[in-house]
């Protein structure tokens, strides 16, 4: 996405993930991160990785206060909920990272997108298979 307002207006942000080294049990070698550009894509910088091993298939959206809500699946599957990371500095650093138990997930890709503004706040739409066992209950 591209920031539409605030301090980082115009910044391009891309949610991503990587693995490094030999494969590890429970996919602990997987890690979600992002990269961003402040020069219209001529160059990109990497963000720090989300500090939950096994995070991958990530997506992100702009939120208020120069922020990003980053959303990833938990490939380890030990906690059947989406991983959320919040940044208030355009994505270079994650201020808060947690499992959102209100977003159940069976280890499946999800999607989040900013769909507009209401009362000066960003409106987000989120979609995933809201089930802890199967890829059912699309919401």
Q: What is the pLDDT of residues 23-37, one digit of tens each?
A: 999 999 999 999 999
Residue 28, CB-side half-sphere exposure with 13 Å CA sphere: 3
pTM beyond 0.85? yes
All residue ranges of the chain with pLDDT < 70 are: none
Task: Name the E strands within 75-110.
Answer: 81-87, 96-104
Alpha carbon of residue 32 to chain centroid: 8
The answer for residues whose C-beta is within 8 angstroms of residue 45's C-beta and 6 or more apart is 35, 36, 37, 92
With beta carbons less than 8 A apart as the criterion, state whether 33 and 20 touch: no
> What is the rounded distance in angstroms from the CA atom of residue 129 to the CA atom of residue 106?
7
| Percent share of the chain, pLDDT over 70 | 100
């Amino acid at each position: 996405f591209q920031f539409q307002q605030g301090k980082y207006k115009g910044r391009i942000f891309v949610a991503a993930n990587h693995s490094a080294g030999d494969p590890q049990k429970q996919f602990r070698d997987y890690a979600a991160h992002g990269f961003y550009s402040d020069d219209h894509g001529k160059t990109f910088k990497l963000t720090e990785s989300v500090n939950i091993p096994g995070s991958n298939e990530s997506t992100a959206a702009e939120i208020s206060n120069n922020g990003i809500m980053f959303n990833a699946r938990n490939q380890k599957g030990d906690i059947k909920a989406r991983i959320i990371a919040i940044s208030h500095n355009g994505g270079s650093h994650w201020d808060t990272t947690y499992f959102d138990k209100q977003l159940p997930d069976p280890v499946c890709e999800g999607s989040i997108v900013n769909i507009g503004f209401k009362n000066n706040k960003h409106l987000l739409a989120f979609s995933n298979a809201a089930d802890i066992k199967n890829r059912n209950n699309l919401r």
